[in-house]
Amino acid sequence: MKKAINFLLFLLLPWLSMAQQFVANYDEAKVPAYTLPDPLIFNDGTPVTNKKEWEKRRGEIYHIFEKEVFGVVPEWKGSMKSVVVSQRKDALNGLAKRKEVRLELINGNRKIAVMVLIYLPQNSKDAPVFLSYNFDGNHTTTVEPDVLLPDSWVSNNKELGISDNRATEKGRGAAISRWPIKEIVTRGFGVATVYYGDVDPDFNDGFKNGVHEFFDAKRDSSSWGSIATWAWGLSRVMDYLETDKDINAQKVIVMGHSRLGKTSLWAGASDQRFAMTIANNSGSCGAAISRRKFGETVGRINTAFPHWFCDNFKKYNEKEELMPVDQHELLALIAPRPVYVASAAEDLWADPKGEFLSCVYASPVYQLLGLKGFPAKDMPALNTPVMGSIAYHIRPGKHDVTLYDWNCYMDFAALYFKMKK
Ligand code: GTR
């Protein structure tokens, strides 16, 4: 017994000591001086002067994010089948059409199912649709009693020690404050949501579960981490949406909160079919400038979540200044399509100022492409959204998604898609 405890301590100590040593900086005066990589300068030092050159430079930046941060997606040799498992015309008391679609990813005799829950306004053909992962199962986003419970890892895995039964009936509607579906549909938008654990369970198991089990490729230091896997999953949902006659696939907005905000940025950068990207409180390695080392740092995120990024990224633990890219360039990769970054005033862990500054520093790329860019140089006051090709707001309160956030996203989308008020 004593031996076993010692062995456990031996395994845990390096992690515990790193976790204990880490003290987040929340003092603006202690933010180090830094120089950001310039998205409009090629790796060889020559400047980018027009749209055509930007396309080439975009490839350089994308490649660095792939190889050094999120990891490279292996070749997919499988196939996907979609099955509509339920359909209602009278959802939300007649306000919406609803369907649940099971996407079956198949590779030989291996198969996983990804469930998509879709709410659309009755007259949906031209409605922009927010595609967004949820954290705990599709049934947590709605109180409707017949939406299916997840049958993936939340319910049948003990790795996270989940004990609150959120994958059961007890979780139904538990996240509705983050999913104002009625308000969204009333304003003429649709919502497609997927439980992210269907695609890849969020724990460090050496990439043996989720869609990873489909890819036989040997892993190396640039192989994809879970964020890239989740982003890939959003592209598979997009493959389906393109086939759904109730949906205009030209108007799909990819939106995510927190780790799933980081995911939406990488999905928006990787798949140009997404018309718009929204990152809610995405923080470290999402929208926030890493070189500021404010709140959560690269070292801290790689220690707490070693499976989110590729192994190469660990080289930059406590050495953010050596990163060949920074997060403003992740936003720039989304150009010319619009992108919205949002912060919460009490969410210092996510570095609101760093999230704002990324918008400022990504703006020259949009401007080079003849677009408005980001029309602010100073942080706006609370609840005062700034909207150009890049949009930003900071609201009071905690790390969360609120109706206020959604209303801003809908305002921005309504502007971009020229919807009537
Ligand atoms: C935190 C993590 C953040 C953010 C958040 C979340 O623990 O440090 O980067 O991703 O989780 O996703 O809720």
For 80-116, write each residue's pLDDT tens digit: 999 999 999 999 999 999 999 999 999 988 899 999 9
**What is the DSSP pairing of strand 190-195 with strand 252-257?**
unpaired
Task: Please give the pLDDT value at position 185.
Answer: 98
Give the SS3 label for residue 143: coil
State the average pLDDT for the chain. 93
Half-sphere exposure of 245 (CA within 13 A, CB side): 1
pLDDT value at 125 more than 50:
yes
For 53-82, write each residue's pLDDT tens digit: 999 999 999 999 999 999 999 998 899 999
DSSP letter, residue 149: P
- Please give the number of the atom of ligand 1 that sits closest to the Cα of 285: 9
Pocket probe mutation, ligand 1, options 133, 196, 258, 263, max atoms within 8 Å of Cβ: 258
Q: Residue 204 and residue 306: Cα distance in Å, rounded?
A: 7
Average pLDDT over residues 216-223: 89
Task: Please give the pLDDT value at position 162.
Answer: 53
For 305-341, write each residue's pLDDT tens digit: 999 999 999 999 999 999 999 999 999 999 999 999 9
Question: What is the 258 CA–ligand 1 centroid distance (Å)?
Answer: 6
- Band of residue 379 on the pLDDT scale cut at 50, 70, 90: very high
Task: Please give the pLDDT value at position 77.
Answer: 87
Pocket probe mutation, ligand 1, options 305, 309, 343, max atoms within 8 Å of Cβ: 305
- Band of residue 153 on the pLDDT scale cut at 50, 70, 90: low
Question: What is the 364 CA–ligand 1 centroid distance (Å)?
Answer: 29
Task: Please give the pLDDT value at position 96.
Answer: 98
Pocket probe mutation, ligand 1, options 226, 259, 309, max atoms within 8 Å of Cβ: 259
CB 248 within 8 A of CB 189: no
Parse the chain into domains and list their residue ranges. 57-75+119-416
CA distance readout (Å), 296 to 231, 248, 285, 401: 22, 38, 9, 19
Question: What is the 259 CA–ligand 1 centroid distance (Å)?
Answer: 5
Task: Please give the pLDDT value at position 161.
Answer: 56
The phi, psi pair for 392, rounded to 5°, reads: -150, 140
Task: Please give the pLDDT value at position 21.
Answer: 77
- Please give the number of the atom of ligand 1 that sits closest to the Cα of 399: 13
- Please give the number of the atom of ligand 1 that sits closest to the Cα of 304: 8
DSSP letter, residue 114: E
3-state secondary structure 228-291: HHHHHHHHHHHHHHCCCCCCCHHHEEEEEECHHHHHHHHHHHHCCCCCEEEEECCCECCCECHH
Task: Please give the pLDDT value at position 158.
Answer: 53
DSSP symbols for 120-137: EESS-TT--EEEEEESS-
Single-letter code of the amino acid located at 369: L
Active site residues: 258, 399
The phi, psi pair for 51, rounded to 5°, reads: -60, -40
Which of residues 124 and 361 earns the better pLDDT score?
Answer: 361
Half-sphere exposure of 210 (CA within 13 A, CB side): 26
- Band of residue 278 on the pLDDT scale cut at 50, 70, 90: very high
pLDDT value at 184 more than 60:
yes
Nearest CA to ligand 1 atom 12: 259
Question: What is the 308 CA–ligand 1 centroid distance (Å)?
Answer: 11
Task: Please give the pLDDT value at position 9.
Answer: 44
Task: Please give the pLDDT value at position 87.
Answer: 97
- Band of residue 217 on the pLDDT scale cut at 50, 70, 90: confident
Task: Please give the pLDDT value at position 213.
Answer: 82
Task: Please give the pLDDT value at position 109.
Answer: 87
CB 326 within 8 A of CB 297: no
The phi, psi pair for 419, rounded to 5°, reads: -85, 150
The answer to whether the predicted template modeling score (pTM) of the entire model surpasses 0.75 is: yes
Q: Residue 404 and residue 384: Cα distance in Å, rounded?
A: 11
The phi, psi pair for 52, rounded to 5°, reads: -65, -45
Alpha helices per DSSP H over 41-168: 51-64, 91-94, 153-156
Q: Residue 357 and residue 289: Cα distance in Å, rounded?
A: 7
Look up the CATH superfamily of 57-75+119-416.
Answer: Alpha/Beta hydrolase fold, catalytic domain (3.40.50.1820)
Question: What is the 270 CA–ligand 1 centroid distance (Å)?
Answer: 22
**What is the DSSP pairing of strand 96-107 with strand 110-121?**
antiparallel
Which of residues 151 and 394 earns the better pLDDT score?
Answer: 394
Residues with CB under 6 A from ligand 1: 258-259, 283-284, 296, 301
Q: Residue 173 and residue 308: Cα distance in Å, rounded?
A: 28
**Helices 226-241/259-270 angle, 10° precision:** 60
pLDDT value at 14 more than 80:
no
Going by C-alpha positions, the residue among 344, 185, 361, 330 that lies closest to residue 264 is: 330
Going by C-alpha positions, the residue among 106, 415, 384, 129 that lies closest to residue 250 is: 129
- Please give the number of the atom of ligand 1 that sits closest to the Cα of 284: 9
Task: Please give the pLDDT value at position 64.
Answer: 98
Average pLDDT over residues 278-298: 98
Task: Please give the pLDDT value at position 106.
Answer: 93
Average pLDDT over residues 167-194: 95
Average pLDDT over residues 398-410: 98
